[in-house]
Chain A
Amino acid sequence: MTLDELRPDHRATVVALEIRGVQRRRLMDLGLLPGTEVRVDMTSPLGDPTAYLVRDALIALRRSQARAVHIEVHDDEPGRR
Chain B
Amino acid sequence: MPGPELPTAPDAGPAHGACTSCAIYNSANLRKLGVETGTYDYVAAVAGNPNTGKSTVFNALTGLRQHVGNWPGKTVARAEGGFHYHGHGYKLVDLPGTYSLLSTSNDEEIARDFLLFGRPDVTIAVVDATRLERNLNLVLQILQITDRVVVALNLMDESERHGITIDVRHLARELGVPVTPMAARKGQGVPELLESVEQVARGTVATRAHRVKHRDPRLERAVDVLAGQLQQTFPGLPSTRWVALRLLEGDPGTEQAVRDGTLGDLGRGIAGPEATSARPTGTAAR
Are B134 and A55 interface neighbours, CB within 8 A?
yes
Are A25 and B134 interface neighbours, CB within 8 A?
no
With both chains docked as a complex, state the minimum distance between the C-beta of B264 and any C-beta of chain A, in angstroms.
Answer: 25
With both chains docked as a complex, state the minimum distance between the C-beta of A72 and any C-beta of chain B, in angstroms.
Answer: 20
With both chains docked as a complex, state the minimum distance between the C-beta of A34 and any C-beta of chain B, in angstroms.
Answer: 15
The listed residue (A29, A55, A56, A57) touching B103 by CB distance below 8 A is: A29
Are B100 and A25 interface neighbours, CB within 8 A?
yes
The listed residue (B99, B130, B131, B133) touching A29 by CB distance below 8 A is: B99
Give the most central of B99, B103, B104: most A CB within 10 Å. Answer: B103
8 further A-B pairs in the complex, CB-CB below 8 A; given A25-B103, A55-B131, A55-B134:
A22-B103, A22-B104, A29-B103, A31-B134, A56-B130, A56-B131, A56-B134, A57-B131
| Range for the number of chain A residues in contact with chain B | 10 to 19
Tally of chain B residues near chain A (CB < 8 A): 10
Which residues of chain B have a CB within 8 Å of any CB of chain A?
99-100, 102-104, 130-131, 133-134, 137
| CB neighbours of B100 from chain A (8 A) | 25, 29
| CB neighbours of B104 from chain A (8 A) | 22
For the complex, give the distance between the alpha carbons of A26 and B105 in Å. 10
Which residues of chain A have a CB within 8 Å of any CB of chain B?
22, 25-26, 29-31, 54-57
Give the most central of A25, A29, A31, A56: most B CB within 10 Å. Answer: A29
What are the 5 A-B residue pairs with the smallest beta carbon separation, nearest first?
Answer: A29-B100, A29-B99, A55-B134, A31-B134, A25-B103
The listed residue (A22, A30, A54) touching B99 by CB distance below 8 A is: A30
For the complex, give the distance between the alpha carbons of A26 and B130 in Å. 21
Which residue of chain B is the closest to A30 with respect to CB atoms? Answer: B99
